[in-house]
Structure 1
């Protein structure tokens, strides 16, 4: 294997290792805007404006990416969303 091929292979591997996951929040007919906004502020460290925008996107589009990062960072955040009665998953 040439040096160039090895570097390209290492670069591809590094990109795969750095892949970010996202929490996707889904719309439901149960939770109020205020509840969703407050939960996003608490669980995902959103600003009030950011949480409000995400709640509007979820309402009209059916889903919204609300937080990206490593799986280890997202897992407890997603758990908080689920425990608050929201529909979310990590992709």
Structure 2
């Protein structure tokens, strides 16, 4: 009985130590993973719209899109859509 208990304890210790030794975080992040982590961090910062767009353009290496407002206080999406009920 004592041998069986000792064997069970040794087997349990071996299994638990084997499970605890593997860590997937030890490998280096790829460039894509690093960029995704930076974008997730940017989303959590609570920046203003303009600051967010500037930082995002820097991270993605893309040109920043300038968002302008027209004279009626509406946002110009750089595409004009003709509405039949509006004069313009």
Structure having the higher Rg: 2
TM-score > 0.5 by shorter chain: no
TM-score by length of 2: 0.28
Considering Cα pairs closer than 8 Å and 6+ residues apart, tell me whether 1 or 2 has the greater RCO. 1
Q: Normalising by the residue count of structure 1, what TM-score does the alignment of the two structures yield?
A: 0.27
Of Structure 1 and Structure 2, which has the larger fraction of its residues in helix? Answer: 1
